[in-house]
């Protein structure tokens, strides 16, 4: 199979451990795989492949728990693991779905999928040391919802998934780490270390989204700042509010003009 077909195969895989293995294996072969011009046929069963649990509920109904209690710490780590599991699917979806892009686009998103798989594995393994597994807490589906909304527009996908929803992680991670440091337990300290790894990689992932968004805007004759506002309204993307991690966002390629737009 060529690269896009294998990305779709991994996306359709429901078992988290098998999906992780397929994403990481795909990265290992990506440089030598052909990339088809046409996307493989989408399966009838729907996307993405995922396990029966966690139960997906409305974000407002996800229980809030204190990380100062063992179950609350596990619930927090589970929520982040769920984000990383979704991020594997988001990257695989970009790699198989959109035609007419340079080869580097597909290989970039395969690399992102493999790194997200690593993040998910770190969190799943740490959860296990606390006596929990992925699926033990309810979760929401906001990330994949935006993936569905932008499935017919690669410009919108680059604008609203990596550089909007995933970029929000750049803002939230230091705040989560500060709270975990206050918890102070060895388990919480290990979580801080894992989040250091995730934050460093996510800056690169958001940078990839920024690169391809700007590449597409240049190709299509669009102003990236003005068109971003159009896409936010068109696809009902969430408006982001401060505080923003400006240092991380700048490292990920956001311009001063783009950061100013967020503060409007």
CA 211 – CA 213 distance, rounded (Å): 6
Question: In terms of residues, how long is the chain?
Answer: 264
pLDDT in the model for residue 148: 93
The single residue listed with the structure tokens 């590449």 is 215
DSSP characters over 113-181: HHHHHHHHHHHHHHHHHTT--TTSS-B--HHHHHHHHTTT-HHHHHHHIIIIITTHHHHHHHHHHHHHH
Q: What is the b/e burial string over 40-50, where b = at least 16 CB atoms within 10 angstroms of the residue's CB? A: beeeeeebbbb
pLDDT at residue 42 in the model? 83
CA dihedral 2, 8, 81, 200 (to 10 degrees): 40
- Give me the pLDDT at residue 191, please: 97
The domain limits of the chain are 68-262
How is domain 68-262 classified at the CATH fold level? Answer: Ferritin (1.20.1260)
Average pLDDT by stretches of 10, the chain with 264 residues? 94 97 97 93 84 93 92 96 97 96 98 98 97 96 92 97 95 97 97 98 98 98 96 93 95 96 89
pLDDT at residue 41 in the model: 87
CA distance 80 to 116: 11
What pLDDT does 46 receive?
A: 75
DSSP 45: T
Q: Record the pTM.
A: 0.96
Q: Using CA atoms, how far apart are residues 163 and 157, in angstroms rounded to an integer?
A: 9
């Amino acid at each position: 199979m060529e690269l896009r077909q294998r990305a779709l195969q991994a996306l359709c895989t429901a078992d988290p451990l098998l999906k992780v293995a397929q994403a990481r294996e795909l990265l290992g072969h990506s440089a030598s795989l052909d990339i088809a011009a046409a996307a493989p046929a989408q399966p009838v069963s729907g996307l993405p492949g995922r396990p029966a649990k966690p139960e997906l509920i409305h974000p407002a109904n996800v229980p809030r728990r204190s990380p100062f209690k063992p179950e609350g710490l596990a619930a927090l780590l589970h929520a982040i693991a769920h984000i990383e599991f979704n991020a594997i699917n988001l990257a695989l979806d970009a790699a198989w779905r959109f035609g007419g892009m340079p080869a580097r686009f597909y290989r970039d998103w395969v690399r992102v999928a493999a790194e997200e798989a690593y993040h998910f594995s770190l969190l799943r393994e740490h959860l296990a040391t606390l006596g929990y597994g992925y699926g033990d807490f309810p979760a929401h589906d906001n990330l994949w919802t935006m993936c569905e909304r932008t499935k017919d527009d690669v410009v919108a996908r680059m604008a609203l998934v990596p550089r909007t929803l995933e970029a929000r992680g750049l803002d939230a991670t230091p705040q989560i780490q500060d709270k975990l440091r206050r918890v102070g337990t060895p388990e919480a300290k290990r979580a801080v270390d894992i989040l250091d790894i995730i934050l460093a990689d996510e800056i690169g992932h958001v940078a990839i989204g920024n690169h391809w968004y700007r590449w597409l805007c240049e190709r299509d004759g669009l102003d990236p700042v003005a068109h971003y506002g159009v896409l936010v309204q068109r696809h009902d993307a969430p408006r982001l509010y401060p505080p923003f991690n400006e240092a991380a966002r700048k490292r990920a390629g956001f311009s001063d003009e783009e950061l100013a737009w967020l503060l409007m």
